[in-house]
Amino acid sequence: MVKRRVKFTFPTELITESVIYELGHRYKVVTNIRRADVREDIGWVVLELEGTESEIADGLGWVAETGVRVDPVSGDVIQG
């Protein structure tokens, strides 16, 4: 099992969609929300993902296909 931190940026039309839930449901990936800011016109979420490298890669590929921007995050977002 590996852990990766990523940032999802949601466009307006995808803010109300259950993308994070679907990621964990479709792929064997555990999602841990580390930080988020969701507004009416845009939203972003920093997630820690845990799973196999292939499941995480496949899941992130699917997320990107939905129209959500996926960016890597390095370091600890929230310590403690």
Task: List, for residues 7-65, the tens digit of each pLDDT value.
Answer: 999 999 999 999 999 999 999 999 999 999 999 889 999 999 999 999 999 999 999 99
Whether 80 has a pLDDT exceeding 90, the answer reads no
Residue 29 CB neighbour total at 10 angstroms:
21
Cβ-Cβ contacts under 8 Å for 19 (sequence gap 6 or more): 8, 10, 63, 66, 68
- 59-72 residues labelled b (16+ CB within 10 A) or e (exposed): bbeebeeeebeeee
19 lies in a domain? yes
62-76 residue pLDDT tens: 999 999 999 999 865
25-38 residue pLDDT tens: 999 999 999 999 99
CATH number at residue 39: 3.30.70.260
58 lies in a domain? yes
Please give the Cα distance from 30 to 73 (Å, whole number): 17
Res 75: pLDDT:
63
Number of domains observed in the structure of the chain: 1
